Amino acid sequence: MEKTKDQQKILFQELLMPELGALFRTALRMTRNREDAEDLVQETTTKAFSAIDRFEEGTNFRAWIFKILTNTFINNYYRVRERNKLPSLDEMEEESAFQPAFEGISPEQALLNTLTKEDIQKAIDVIPIDFKSVVVLNLVEGFSYKETAEILDIPIGTVMSRLHRGRKILQKLLWEYSSSKNSTEKGTKEEWTAKKQ
Amino acid sequence: MDCKEAVEKLYLYLDGEILTPQERKDFEEHLRICRKCCEKFDFEKNLLNLIKSNCLDTPLPATLVNKVLTVINSF
């Protein structure tokens, strides 16, 4: 039997509310702006409810609504000029020369100790969108490679390669943020290792 | 499994993806005997957890819940 509008609203609300936090934080990482993130989530809600007849009950609502969110972002919020503002990928993927240096602990542990929430969110915010969307969906929101591929409408192989490069860019940025905070004893990883020996 | 193969499999293992039970076992066995790979794995795992926990810790604006309910009720 077909559902009434009110029954549809109740079902939709039950499915949507547990995902609202995840939708908002993903929207925030993508738009980099709280106001736009709220607008994006509202717009996603409008589109999703308008298309609720096409959602098959019992299937993956989370992946379905994230697909609407990412499509809405790309179509309505992401501008070509933003792509042009970004540094080149080659530049972003270069191995970082700077590593935090502390006596008695490894550069890796020093990195983990010095990073703040602001550093991590800032680094994700500046990753180019194709890589950021995979990083956020997979690493933060825990979607599988297959789900991420379905949400973004790209092959699994592309998810894997973008995730690999996204991780590389993210790590480079995090090393740089951490190093800049420890400039009193800054050095390359090699210098640190040599000093330790 | 050697170091080269372990490094190739590291992210797949970490992401809980695509490894067969035998590959998982071989990977874990390699970490037990190779300190360098074990340290790399621990670093990647800790960094991933740090990224995840700091991103998940984003409060939902109280006003957004009401805005979304208003959207649904407007239909």
Q: Flag if A38 and B11 touch (Cβ within 8 Å).
A: no
Q: Does B51 touch chain A (CB under 8 A)?
A: yes
**Given the structure tokens 């020093």, which residue do they identify?**
A110
pTM of the predicted model as reported, rounded to 2 decimal places? 0.86
Q: How many CB pairs under 8 A join A and B?
A: 87
Nearest CA in chain B to A175: B47
pLDDT greater at residue B1 or residue A151: A151
pLDDT of residue A98: 54
From A12, A120, A144, residue closest to B55, measured CB to CB: A120
Domain extents in chain B: 3-73
Regions of chain A where pLDDT drops below 50: 81, 184, 186, 192, 195-197
CA A132 to chain B, closest CA, distance in angstroms equals: 13
Instruction: Kindly provide the b/e burial profile for residues B15-48, where b requires at least 16 CB atoms within 10 angstroms of the residue's own CB.
Output: bebeeeeeeeebbeebbeebeebeebbebbeebb
Distance CA A28, CA A23 (A): 8
In chain A the domains, ranked by start, together with CATH numbers, are: 5-83 (1.10.1740.10), 89-196 (1.10.10.10)
B 13-42 → A contacts, CB under 8 A = 15-18, 39
Distance CA B61, CA A63 (A): 22
pLDDT of residue A184: 47
Residues 6+ apart with CB under 8 A from A56: none
The predicted-structure confidence for A115-158, as pLDDT tens digits, reads as follows: 999 999 999 999 999 999 999 999 999 999 999 999 999 999 99
